[in-house]
Amino acid sequence: QALGLLARTRPLVVGKMRAAAATLAVGAACATASGVELATFGGRSGATFKIVELKGPVMGGRSTGTWHVDTAGEFGVFDGEVVNALSLDAPGFIKAAADGSFPDASSALAGVLIFEVRSSTPGYTGFRAAFAAGSVSPSYACAGGGSIPLSRGCFKAKFSVPAGQDFVQIRIPFSDFSDKWSPATGEQSTTCEQDKRVCPTASSLNSIKRIELWAEGVAGKAHLEVRSISVEVPSTPVALRVAARPPAEFGTCKGPVQDGLRFGISGRTTPDIPVPVDENETLAEAVCCDSRTKVYAEPQFLYQAPDISLYSKLEAGVTTFYDSVCGVPLFRAPMNRTLAEFKADTDEHGWPSFRPAEVVKEHVTEDKDGIVYSSCGTHLGSYLPDEKGPRWCIDLSCVAGNPKADASQLVVYYM
């Protein structure tokens, strides 16, 4: 477990790093009646770990900062100055970052992240908090802010500190955080209110791997003393999300989408499509069973997403794709071609793509507009012939079912 300070300005870190010893007490399993304590300082509680202070001079960067722990007062001290980078003529940043496995905070999704702090620079307006969760590389995610490939999963929000000599609680609702923000300014490019896909989830709060404090995007001296970091659970119970079927007038399927869809599809619990539907519809319910989405598809290249990774889950030889509602077989691939050819066809279009020999014709039909349905009424995708001949471009969400005969023996894929 390390808490380090990085002082740099974009775009490139160069130079040497140096380390200084101090301590951070991480609140392992420090749950209270109203919340979960993530970190304290100076060995006040929890397990004590070494803190590493990192400094990286940058091309044109002049921002400087330090981190240390006041063991007598039992608080961490984040201090420095953000100045313009000569090469960019824009303010840089400094940040302190702690890496490790933090306690489960999923119960606080509808609650707040709390920093107990005080500051001698209350007028500084560039303070930000961030945490990484659900990212393979937390440090990479917290450098990219979702603006570069595979850098989602680092959630950031602004905060300010009032004047005064006493420690105060800064309460940041998790709904204020977003994992899409500019690495140049720290400003959110998409807010949680604008797009729920950038919001933290209970799953991500279950696996926080990094916590950061920033002074960013605003020139000036920044001083912050931190006594604890915790989360607070809502005081009133929050209703659990219940998956919903489309309203009867819009429902096209003969039954509900199966639980435990293959390829990780059941993990897609929000309707990520550009038309309004019931917010509790899963992606599969919305794409496969709601007539309002007839001309829309699941996100392009969904099958390549890290939580899906279709190609890594294909069976040896031929894979059968079953209806996500009734479990009848719909497609078998590859047939009369190689796996490489199936992948190339799919990658060229962005959705799983099948040829005539791969279609189970008694269960697959198309209407006059080229919309493809199963014999169960499940919307599957589009019939889009190309220069090679007939081609069915299909939503993986709708062909991720379990075989009809084995519907009670659900298969759950996981990474």
Q: Which of 21-30, 292-301, 310-319 has the lowest mean pLDDT?
A: 21-30
State percent of the chain over pLDDT 70.
Answer: 80
DSSP string of 188-204, one letter each residue: BSS-TTT-GGGS--HHH
Q: Whole-angstrom Cα distance, residue 393 to residue 389?
A: 13
Establish how many alpha carbons lie within 13 A of residue 27's alpha carbon, considering only the half-sphere containing its beta carbon. Answer: 20
Q: What is the pTM of this model?
A: 0.54
CB burial of residue 242 (10 Å; 0-12, 13-18, 19+):
exposed
Least confident among 34-38, 153-157, 255-259, 317-321: 34-38
pLDDT in tens, 234-262: 765 544 445 567 777 777 788 888 888 88
pLDDT level of residue 268 (50, 70, 90 thresholds): confident
- Is the CB of residue 81 less than 8 Å from the CB of residue 220? yes
Instruction: Name the DSSP letter for residue 146.
Output: T
Contact 283, 305 (CB under 8 A): no
Q: E strands of 119-186, at which residues? A: 127-133, 154-158, 168-173
d(CA 205, CA 122): 29
Which amino acid is residue 140, in one-letter code? Y
Q: How far is CA 229 from the centre of its chain?
A: 21
- pLDDT tens digits, 346-389: 998 899 999 999 999 999 999 988 999 999 899 999 999 999 99
8 Å CB contact between 22 and 68? yes
Question: What would the mean pLDDT of 402-410 be, rounded to a whole number?
Answer: 52
Q: Is residue 43 very low, low, confident or very high in pLDDT (cuts 50, 70, 90)?
A: low
Q: How far apart are CA 385 and CA 392, in angstroms?
A: 7
Strand pairing report for 35-41 and 47-50: unpaired
Write down the pLDDT at residue 235.
66
Integer angstrom CA distances of residue 292 from 136, 228, 286: 36, 48, 8
Paired tokens of 322: 């079953």
Burial of 180 (0-12, 13-18, 19+ CB in 10 A): buried
- Per the CB < 8 A criterion, the answer to whether 65 and 215 are in contact is yes
The residues with which 399 forms a beta bridge, in sequence order, are none
Report how far residue 186's alpha carbon sits from residue 181's, in angstroms, rounded to the nearest whole number. 6
Cα separation of 168 and 86, whole Å? 36
CB 81 within 8 A of CB 222: yes
Instruction: With a cut of 70, say whether residue 408 has pLDDT above it.
Output: no
Give the model confidence (pLDDT) of 19-36 as tens digits. 333 434 444 334 444 668
* Strand 168-173, strand 220-232: pairing: unpaired
pLDDT grade for 221, boundaries at 50, 70 and 90: very high
- Above 60 in pLDDT, residue 126? yes
pLDDT at 7 over 50: no
299 in Cβ contact with 281 (< 8 Å): no
List, in sequence order, every residue forming a beta bridge with 349; answer none if it has no partner: none
Task: Tell me which of 125-139, 160-174, 284-298, 344-358 is least confident.
Answer: 284-298
Least confident of 109-113, 194-198, 267-271, 348-352: 267-271
Over 50: is that where the pLDDT of 206 sits?
A: yes
Q: Identify the band that residue 343 occupies on the pLDDT scale cut at 50, 70 and 90.
A: very high
Q: What span, in angstroms and rounded, lies between the C-alpha atoms of 65 and 223?
A: 9
Q: How far apart are CA 160 and CA 179, in angstroms?
A: 20
CA distance 346 to 340: 10
Q: What is the DSSP letter of 407?
A: T
| pLDDT over 90 (residue 323) | yes
HSE, CB side, 13 Å, CA atoms: give it for residue 91: 19
Instruction: Tell me the mean pLDDT in the region 279-297.
Output: 82
Q: How much is the pLDDT for 4?
A: 47
Q: Which single residue is written with the structure tokens 């006040």?
A: 44
Q: What is the average per-residue pLDDT within 295-322?
A: 87
Look at residue 236 in the predicted model and tell me its pLDDT: 56
Q: What angle do CA 214, 218, 220 make, to 5 degrees?
A: 95
Lowest mean pLDDT among 23-27, 112-116, 175-179, 267-271: 23-27
Residue 224 pLDDT > 60: yes
Average pLDDT over residues 290-298: 81
pLDDT at 180: 95
Q: Which residues of 348-386 are buried (b: 16+ CB within 10 A; e: fewer)?
A: ebbbbbbbeebbbeebbeeeeeeebbbebbbbbbbbeee
- Sign of CA pseudo-dihedral 250, 256, 261, 267: positive
C-alpha 168 chain-centroid distance: 30
